[in-house]
Homo-oligomer: A and B are copies of this chain.
Amino acid sequence: MYVPCPSCPLRRKPAFRQKGEEEVAVINSMKSDHLTLEAGSEFIHPEQSDAELYTLFAGWAFRYKELGDGRRQILSFALPGDLIGLQASLFEKSFYGAIALTDIQLCVIPRRRMLRLFERMPEIAYDVTWLGARSEALVDENLLSVGRRGAGERIAALLCSLYKRAEPLGLVKEGVLELPLTQQHIADALGLSLVHTNKTLAKLRSQGLFTISGGHLVIRNLRGLSRFAQHFEEDLAPRPLI
């Protein structure tokens, strides 16, 4: 399957800034491939030296780092429209790995074309930089969580954040968000152990702020959950889609 950028359904979502035809055409010309990968595939490897730049077209993924003895930290989750691999494609080697959480589709922008892209269309270069900055903002927020929020607050903040990001992508249907995270993923993202994550999650659920089962998340009171988590950031929108 190959989706040409001008007819990309993502581009029409409210989450994204509408672009002119010419710009979309240039983006399309940069795109070298459209990949389909199974859940669990690692498409950027730690230490990999020739990673490409990707836009996640469909599905969920995450970036992670790990220590020598196997301890793993998830750095950020990626949703459709997110750019993945900017660092990895800019540097000589990647300092992180990226794995598909669900089956995914990726638009590929070859790293070699990056500089040419900067020369050819400065607006797009600006947008790439913007998206890189947004990616850092996501990690910043995560670091705040892991460093300063308690276990319950961390989980609440993560759910809020994902929900707020998923909504303008049209991923929330009738109040239900399909969340492909296992409790292990949540623990890995929040710097918690699996067991503690499970117990804390149970406690939160029992307070009635949200429901989560079988991969379906329903937030009964987003305002209240945000307040509990002290999570007050809205997702920046509209944003560019490369």
- Which A residues between 31 and 70 are near B, CB-CB below 8 angstroms? 63, 65-69
CA distance A69 to B149 in the complex (A): 11
Taking CB atoms, residues of chain B closer than 8 Å to A95 are 137, 140-141, 233
Dominant secondary structure of chain A at its interface with chain B? helix
Copy number in the complex reads 2
Taking CB atoms, residues of chain B closer than 8 Å to A143 are 65, 73, 75, 139, 142-143, 146
**Does A86 touch B at the CB level, under 8 Å?**
yes
Taking CB atoms, residues of chain B closer than 8 Å to A73 are 143-144, 147-148
* Distance from A122 Cβ to chain B, minimum over Cβ atoms (Å): 4
Closest to A91 in B: B236
Of B114, B115, B136, which contacts A87 at CB under 8 A?
A: B136
Give the interface residue-count category, chain A.
Answer: 35 or more
**Does A119 touch B at the CB level, under 8 Å?**
yes
CA distance A92 to B134 in the complex (A): 12
**Does A163 touch B at the CB level, under 8 Å?**
no
**Does A135 touch B at the CB level, under 8 Å?**
yes
Taking a contact as CB atoms under 8 Å apart, the answer to whether B90 and A140 are in contact is no
CA distance A63 to B147 in the complex (A): 14
Taking a contact as CB atoms under 8 Å apart, the answer to whether B133 and A91 are in contact is yes
